[in-house]
């Protein structure tokens, strides 16, 4: 992202989880609440294959957001971000990285014409070595090239410089000019319209997965509403988080031409060496971290299984990817890596 040097592992992306808030009391809960009327829901939906719904999934491996343990918003009120201390509201740092930063990628990319994408992303809390580095897993929908690139992005991220802690948080991003002047993380600038009372952008999510224990995940989908032209974001089967208005975009106004799913890290370098910032579980692709049930929405508004992708890895010795197909997981891939090791310097 931006000026960062990223290692990405892509396949259709979902969302994530995190850990605990710090020092939240009732007064802090009251301050971030901002009265905003919930305006709308999508007016059109893609036709889904229904290969895995929450009626058949093990609901115990779904994640939650910790702010919900201290109550809910009144009807027609949503949580918006105000300050750095409240869990969902920590969008307080400028989004920038030094010129020495590099980004690394290991991802799956699919190029055609799309009206949406979907996947289930496992949630982790990877180690991030420095304040200004991040580690994430997300879905990208993009159109255009170079300075004309438009994107919408959603997934989970560990980024202390932005949030003030190392907890994984659910995030979104958008740009309409190749990350130059437009767009931002979460709700830092006008753009994404947040309508859900049940899901806060930028909030810590939990519980996180463990290598030898339970795996936790968030199903995520994005699609273009054919009536309004807006790009909607949904988590699980029934939470409509909000939408990116079509008026934000130029090349992405009507269709996406690229979809990416995977992981990304920034590497600020440690002297002359790669840092030990991890991706996913921190293990290579044969273990643990995954995207599964990866699908795309075609121009006929049909949700289809992803086929015909190619893994892309910018630094295979640092982070890698291993795709496959399965009757229950559909199209999936494992991804991740430890960063600096004997072969990654």
Tell me how far CA of residue 269 lies from CA of 226, 273, 344, in angstroms. Answer: 45, 6, 12
- 301 catalytic? Reply is no
Assess whether 148 carries a catalytic annotation: no
What are the CA-CA distances from residue 234 to residues 122, 139, 154 (Å)?
16, 12, 10
CA distances from 256 to 80, 142, 193, 249 (A): 28, 5, 20, 11
- Those residues whose C-beta lies under 8 Å from the C-beta of residue 7, and which sit 6 or more positions away, are 103, 104, 105, 106, 263, 264, 265, 267, 279, 313, 314, 315, 318, 319, 337
Which ranges of the chain would DSSP assign to H, the alpha helix?
26-30, 160-163
CB 204 within 8 A of CB 19: yes
**Chain-centre distance of CA 175, in angstroms?**
15
Query: Residue 228: which region, alpha, beta or left (left: phi > 0; alpha: psi -120 to 50)?
Result: alpha
Q: Please give the DSSP secondary-structure letter assigned to residue 58.
A: -
Residue 344: partners with Cβ closer than 8 Å, 6 or more residues away: 274, 315, 317, 318, 337, 338
Q: Cα–Cα distance between 280 and 123 in angstroms, integer?
A: 8
Name the active-site residue from 109, 264, 295, 315: 264
Tell me the two tokens of residue 173: 């991003």
Q: Of 95, 153, 295, 315, which is the active-site residue?
A: 153
User: Which of the 8 DSSP states describes residue 207?
Assistant: P
Take residue 228 and report the two structure tokens written for it: 């309004």
List, by residue number, the catalytic residues: 153, 264
């Amino acid at each position: 992202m931006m000026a960062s040097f990223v290692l990405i592992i892509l396949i259709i992306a979902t969302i994530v989880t995190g850990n605990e808030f710090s020092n939240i009391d009732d007064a802090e809960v009251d301050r971030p609440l901002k009265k905003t009327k919930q305006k709308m829901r999508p007016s059109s939906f893609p036709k889904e294959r229904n290969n895995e719904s929450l009626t058949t999934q093990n609901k115990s491996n779904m994640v939650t957001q910790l702010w919900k343990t201290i109550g809910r918003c009144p009807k027609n009120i949503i949580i918006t971000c105000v300050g750095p201390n409240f869990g969902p509201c920590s969008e307080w740092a400028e989004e920038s990285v030094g010129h020495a930063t590099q980004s690394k990628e290991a991802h799956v990319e699919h190029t055609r014409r799309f009206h949406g994408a979907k996947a289930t992303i496992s949630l982790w809390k990877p180690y991030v070595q420095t304040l200004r580095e991040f580690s994430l897993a997300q879905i990208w929908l993009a159109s255009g090239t170079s300075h004309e690139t438009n994107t919408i992005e959603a997934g989970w991220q560990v980024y202390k410089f932005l949030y003030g802690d190392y907890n994984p948080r659910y995030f979104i991003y958008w740009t309409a000019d190749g990350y130059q002047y437009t767009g931002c993380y979460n709700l830092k600038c006008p753009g994404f319209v947040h309508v859900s009372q049940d899901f806060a952008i930028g909030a810590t999510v939990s519980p996180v997965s463990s290598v030898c224990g339970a795996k936790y995940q968030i199903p995520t989908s994005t699609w273009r509403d054919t009536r309004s032209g807006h790009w909607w974001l949904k988590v699980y089967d029934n939470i409509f988080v909000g939408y990116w208005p079509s008026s934000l975009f130029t090349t992405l106004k009507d269709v996406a031409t690229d979809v990416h799913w995977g992981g990304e890290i920034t590497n600020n370098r440690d002297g002359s060496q790669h840092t030990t910032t991890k991706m996913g579980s921190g293990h290579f692709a044969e273990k643990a971290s995954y995207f599964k049930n990866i699908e795309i929405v075609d121009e006929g508004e049909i949700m289809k299984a992803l086929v015909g992708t190619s893994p892309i890895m910018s630094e295979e010795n640092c982070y890698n990817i291993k795709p496959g197909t399965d009757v229950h997981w559909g199209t999936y891939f494992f991804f991740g890596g430890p960063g600096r090791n004997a072969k990654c310097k």
